[in-house]
Amino acid sequence: QHFVPTAQLDSPDSGDYKNWKEGLVERLRAVVFRSFPERIPPAGLESMDGPEVWTLETESGIEVSLRSLSTTPQGSRPERIVLIVNLGDAVPASEFKRTDAVYLLDPRGVGATKWSSRNPPNYVARSHALLGRTVDEGRVWDVAAVSRYLLDHYENRLPLVVAGRGAGAVVSAYAMLFESEIGGGV
């Protein structure tokens, strides 16, 4: 019923990138991610299914699956943590170095927590609007919370990067904005 004009984004002035970015993140927090706290807390361990599959709670009642895909030789220390965000177009673990600690995250609504997506009515996705949130906003939260969990697991001694394809790449990019400990994306 309502149309809004296409967003216009001005490029930063030379040497003013930091202030430009901070202004954009502030506007995103105010308009899109207004439910986010200043810092998203780390996920908590709910259960383990063997040494390589964990169920983590990112928010009260929200569980996600995290699997280790590492091929790091036993007893050697990884060089970095790679968190792959699986939204259907997962980045193959074979694209990373053997010295990486690689993890695959199935955020809410993916894998074991997948909900039906009949269109219409697609009840789960539509109900998020009633809560003032979106599914992908929750997935950004999941990535940031799991990133903090992994950093705590490795005692903040390793750099962490996130990876994804398609929608997973976009969710990863937003998580990098809100979790300063994420060192970048691949």
pLDDT in tens, 78-110: 889 999 999 887 677 677 888 889 999 999 988
Residue 25's contacts (CB-CB under 8 Å, 6 or more residues apart) are 177, 178
Smallest Cα–Cα separation from 174: which of 5, 43, 28, 16? 28
pTM of the model: 0.87
Residue 167's contacts (CB-CB under 8 Å, 6 or more residues apart) are 87, 88, 89, 136
- Give yes or no for a contact between 32 and 42, defined as CB atoms under 8 angstroms apart: no
Residue 156's contacts (CB-CB under 8 Å, 6 or more residues apart) are 181
pLDDT in tens, 30-55: 988 998 999 999 999 999 988 889 99
